[in-house]
Structure 1
């Protein structure tokens, strides 16, 4: 019989997903980690079990494989009670679209949009039966404007934003609260960190420690906030961008991203 409630975290082996797992564990949540094969998930799970004395289960597979995704979710839902879903897994990149392969673009769409939508829809009946449950979807500050040299990524994160807020409204009156988080740049690994540093001073203003992003996102989600923008500068930037014409903010943001592309050659 399923009695213990879990938080399910996608992309949970590193970066923001890892920090969310650690902070959920510190709050006493039992955890299900979904990560790519060969990731750090099993080592992280062992550490969490020892430090926090909670249950942690790991499932390593590619979320873009819809057949395996369906099979794994069926198994998880048959064996575990989920009361909190964190859709954190995502992928991006900076490159001229003419230089990007179709496979790379399709991977962004499949991971950031399709798998997130499928997981949410599959878990909804199980989440909504609880008196209180939560969904945290990770979008990005990039969702607020189109960006040259990223193109598909901000579009995918705008989807996450729109989907989350529409779902939240649809679920008003239920015990299920949906939150969407818009982090600025995150230094998740050496490759990403290098790309952020190339974008210049303006891009670095929005940087926050990953632990702080996770803390803000988790606390505000559990307090029922709809829109979560971690960091003072990111909040200021969001409000300033709202006042600018689309063409102006598109040029401002794209100019900073172009620096990264030019310095890569």
Structure 2
């Protein structure tokens, strides 16, 4: 791809987003990092510029502020030539729906659903100007089945999946290639890591590092692949689960989540 353009990454300061920022910079891409205020994004941007000799811009604001989001994106498009969009920002949680607050439910929807669509739609006119450009949306293995005690999160990731695949078809014949990646379990923080370890071999079967997930996602996105499921066991799991009736699948996955909640 043309490395004189910029790769815009949302949720860029931690987890997959941080690793996307690092690996894109290492590949010679100029990067625009968007993250929440106080996320130490500026420090990482300075390090990447020094380490890899690329231009890295860091912007910190809340993506759920739709008016500020669109305003900021238009300003970025007037100053930078964006050729690659990575919609990584997202949030989840494990809690009974009756114990969820309206604010926490709304934030998942605003960030995972509305944020993904708004960023994509706003940047699309500029992406379409290029002979070749890319959109990579981050879904989850959770998108493939409803899950009790998570309810809103897998539904939001199923939306990201459907949106991405529909958009890919809509943009056939243009220079924009749309991909969607479905990561499995990731040790993103101590709480998640503890829950994965407590699940034993079953919890660790599809486990990949953020570095490996990002490496696979970038390579296959730049190769034009639409559906990306990193990891052999995750692909096997997806194949097997696709053969199980939804009701059975729902009980199996939700039962595991319920046990996980009891452990906590």
Unaligned runs of 5+ in 2: none
Superposed counterparts of 1:12-91, under 5 Å: 12-91=12-91
Any conservation in 1 of the 2:182–2:229 contact (CA below 8 Å)? yes
- Residue 204 of structure 1, CA deviation: 2.1
Give SS of 1:109's match.
helix
Q: What are the superposed Cα offsets for residues 124-173 of structure 1, whole Å, 9 maximum, x if unpaired? A: 00001100000000000000000011000000000000000000000001
Aligned to 1:113: 113
Aligned to 2:216: 216
Q: What are the superposed Cα offsets for residues 211-253 of structure 1, whole Å, 9 maximum, x if unpaired? A: 0000000000000000000000000000001100001111111
**TM-score (norm: length of structure 2):** 0.97
**TM-score (norm: length of structure 1):** 0.96
Distance 1:219 1:126 in 2: 23
Distance 2:70 2:256 in 1: 40
Q: What are the superposed Cα offsets for residues 72-113 of structure 1, whole Å, 9 maximum, x if unpaired? A: 111111111100000000000111111111110110000000
Distance 2:242 2:234 in 1: 12
Superposed counterparts of 1:97-108, under 5 Å: 97-108=97-108
Give SS of 2:58's match.
strand
Distance 1:263 1:95 in 2: 13
Any conservation in 1 of the 2:35–2:41 contact (CA below 8 Å)? yes
Q: How many pairs are equivalent?
A: 262
Higher RCO (C-alpha under 8 Å, 6+ residues apart):
1
Distance 2:194 2:136 in 1: 28
Q: Residue 261 in 1 paired to residue 261 in 2?
A: yes
Unaligned runs of 5+ in 1: none
- Residue 263 of structure 1, CA deviation: 1.3
Any conservation in 1 of the 2:146–2:154 contact (CA below 8 Å)? yes
